[in-house]
Structure 1
């Protein structure tokens, strides 16, 4: 009887999968001029939060094992609160023992009286998508699966998402939109960047065996800069994937839900990532390292390049005799030279890199830079934000201070009095 039921179940699964694939292809979307099969998708900028593309991005869908991203976030938060650490042994309950042997799940059997650490189980959840490990961690955090799911939902609400979970591993019909998944991951990376070290692993070694990543941006569908993060697959969800990659100092997070096939989800993700990076480059660009050097009263200051021009970080000037103040009401950073101030030149070698390679991502800003000289105010024409610091063009100082350029040495000398 069990054999017959399993055969009928398999046939039914094949039929449902075929219907799912047909429905996905019937409503395919385009990202720019590139096709994606996703029923729901988005790509966001990790640094700025910009949503560069979304298709049904705010519509809740079944996320399958992408659910485990919130599970792991809550585990990390419990560690931060001091409830346990990565070396803590995790007990195997009857519930964990049973679920780790369920043939319908992605599982590795866990045993009583065997020591499994938090560190090991996190690796198995993230890399291999192991359900038993997820349940064991959930019980460690909250005492039971049910109680842990309440923690997940509270955290989802605190993040401002509409995500709602019924389990901690993704077999239930949890409801999460592509934007919500991306938001969870953005928060995860920001608060616990160690997750990228783990999610970039091609495999994990667990009790005598290697288990390989389900993320094929590392191999079959190789994508430069990819370092995470989680796949998900069930009949209800289809083929899902949340990917992240870094390029030229910027990070993108892409989500595809209900792609048409296992392989297509990785193709869809690469299209989304490419579109995100292209959009960010058009909107923001990147500050790069340069062989050019700049001196203020014979003291070298870190120098960068942007759009073919020499760039300085405004706040660095405070090490070279300038006082700085910020007016939040007028959104103005004011710099003025103080001849009585002691110089503390920066170690410029720490800020050098290969000519033309990315140093910092750049964003537009409404903050103005003002320079006061001899009681006169100069508002600089250009100002840019890079990781919370303000950038200015050397060219904008030409009408304020004496600037000499040595073409042979690729050196600018600013004289400030």
Structure 2
């Protein structure tokens, strides 16, 4: 009888276990849908291009292959060199054996260069920005630094200056060194390739757009003919197929750089603007639902990031200008004509916040310890002196901060001037303090006699 009872109990338990299992799976699926955009990538990040606020990230700190997204650094250094006068747009480049041989490899993205030809920096740049031309990229590197090897040193130095992390530049193009005809920079191996995490890629794009926004005048061109009207003419179709008129077009997109190698997979740093707000998205090694990398997969992932940024976030005023904290409306003043000075926020504190989450943020006053000691400042104090900042704290859920590590523009300042007290008040105050301290000491001593 006991065996029969156990058997029936087991039979009855099966559907209950299955129901519990389905319920748990449903719960997990719901949690995943809240924390993920269901993009199939090895790494991704989405930022606001103006403030650098990080809106979304997924495995954003893992170093991965970046392929031709490398060329954003080459473009940055080119614009900087033009600004410094190191090179000019009309400067002629004489083709070297290196760039000639690489340009003839039609397995790679290239515009063929004549062995005895010369090309302007502007022509080479357009081939890079529109068609991701690899030999043209090397030509720009040689024009700036004399050799690609020296140029790579500049790339790594600039990466350090930007505060990028876990980066490695081994060439100017993003190709695997094995594709460079045995003429790759000698400091690196035959199989080396450029790597960087998605966060660093986004920071690089952020600096490029902040300092040289004119890059978009070229990256937004969907089609152009290289050396039109000559025997060397070749049609260039932008590899960014999300541009207007191309197969995966997306409203507002105007850049920035694709990248594809066997090592890196299908990558893309895209930027788009709507209603005056620009975002930057980075996807790395995007695959489809079958786990296969493709152009479509990287653009589908980018589209989801763009939609999330534009639809789910709004600029929200978290504190008004002139806001005073209830527990700290003033600071005590030492050696001033006034004994205290009022403090308040300098500007309205605004930030991109996910819709409905504005109440999730609390604000904390953080005083500058170098200027404010024990809640006191020393006169004289000018009106508008920065005495601290507001720290925003999210009560629940992730807040990814800013791409460059800064805090939101939230300075707290003095709202009035306090002049230093004159000689006589300071002297009288010092005398008063002396006698007060002396009295306290003496009364303390007398009391001590009777204890």
TM-score normalised per structure 1: 0.62
Q: Tell me the distance in 1 between the aligned counterparts of 2:127 and 2:284.
A: 22
- Trace 1:406-417 onto structure 2 (pairs within 5 A): none
Cα deviation code 1:21-52 (max 9, x no counterpart): xxxxxxxx868563211111000111111111
Note if contact 2:216-2:255 (Cα within 8 Å) is conserved in structure 1. yes
Residues 1:371 and 1:34: Cα distance change in structure 2 (over 3 Å): same
2:302 pairs with one of 260, 269, 272: 269
Work out which of the two has the higher radius of gyration on C-alpha atoms and give 1 or 2. 2
| C-alpha separation in 1, matches of 2:239 and 2:174 | 15
2:170 is aligned to 166
Equivalence for 1:35? 38
Question: In the alignment, does 2:215 pair up with 1:212?
Answer: no
Residues 167-316 of structure 1 aligned to structure 2 (within 5 Å)? 167-172=171-176, 173-208=193-228, 209-218=234-243, 219-260=246-287, 261-281=294-314, 283=316
Give the whole-Å Cα distance in 2 for the aligned partners of 1:276 and 1:43. Answer: 7
**Distance in structure 2 (CA, Å) of the matches to 1:73 and 1:121:** 14
Report matched runs for 1:316-331 at 5 Å: 326-329=384-387
Give the distance between the partners of 1:117 and 1:81, measured in 2 at CA.
Answer: 18
Secondary structure in 1 matching 2:282: strand
1:39-78 equivalences in 2 (<5 Å): 39-78=42-81
* 1-structure distance, mates of 2:161, 2:93: 27
Question: SS in structure 2 opposite 1:259?
Answer: coil
8 Å contact 1:31–1:53 — kept in the other structure?
no
Answer whether contact 1:66 1:170 (CA < 8 A) is retained. Answer: yes
In 1, Cα distance between equivalents of 2:102 and 2:34: 39
Partner residue in 2 for 1:6: none
Check conservation: 1:126, 1:230, Cα contact below 8 A.
yes
- Asked whether the equivalents of residues 30 and 36 of structure 1 are also in contact (C-alpha less than 8 Å), the reply is no
Following superposition, the deviation at residue 268 of structure 1 comes to 0.4
- The residue correspondences of 1:112-131 to structure 2 (distance < 5 A) are 112-131=115-134
1:141 equivalenced with 2:144 (yes/no): yes
- CA distances 1:304-356 after superposition (whole Å, capped 9, x unpaired): xxxxxxxxxxxxxxxxxxxx963222669xxxxxxxxxxxxxxxxxxxxxxxx
Q: Which runs of 5+ in 2 are unaligned?
A: 1-31, 177-192, 229-233, 288-293, 319-381, 391-406, 417-451
- The 2-side partners of 1:145 and 1:98 are apart by 15
Higher strand share: 1
Q: TM-score, normalised by structure 2?
A: 0.57
Partners in 1 of 2:33 and 2:105 — Cα distance? Answer: 38
* Aligned partner of residue 271 in structure 2, secondary structure: strand
The structural deviation recorded for 1:276 is: 2.2
SS at match of 2:163: coil
Unpaired runs of 5+ in structure 1? 1-28, 286-323, 333-362, 373-417
1:366 aligns with 2:399: no
In 2, distance between residues paired with 1:268 and 1:63? 16
Is the Cα–Cα contact under 8 Å of residues 96 and 110 in structure 1 kept in the other structure? Answer: yes
**Once the 2 structures are TM-superposed, how far is the Cα of residue 116 of structure 1 from its aligned partner?**
1.0
- 8 Å contact from structure 1 (residues 42, 255) kept in 2: yes
Partners of 1:115 and 1:253 in 2: CA distance: 35
State the 1:161 CA deviation. 0.2
Q: Which moved more, 1:129-138 or 1:217-226?
A: 217-226
1:204, distance to aligned residue in structure 2 (A): 2.5
Task: Note closer, same or farther for the CA distance 1:121–1:217 as it changes in structure 2 (3 Å cut).
Answer: same
Is the 8 Å Cα contact of residues 388 and 413 (structure 2) preserved in structure 1?
A: no
d(CA) in 2 for partners of 1:283, 1:220: 35
SS of the residue 1:35 aligns to: coil
Shift of the alpha carbon at 1:227?
Answer: 0.8
Q: Note closer, same or farther for the CA distance 1:59–1:364 as it changes in structure 2 (3 Å cut).
A: closer
The alignment partner of 1:84 has SS state of coil
Give the C-alpha shift of residue 104 in structure 1: 3.4
The match for 1:97 is 100
Where 2:52 maps in the other structure, the secondary structure is coil
Pairs aligned (count): 276
Equivalent position SS for 1:255: strand
Q: C-alpha separation between the residues in 1 aligned to 2:163 and 2:34?
A: 26
Residues 1:198 and 1:30: Cα distance change in structure 2 (over 3 Å): farther
- 1:157 paired residue among 144, 150, 160: 160
Per-residue deviation, 1:364: 6.8
| C-alpha spacing 1:283/1:276, structure 2 compared with 1 (3 Å) | farther
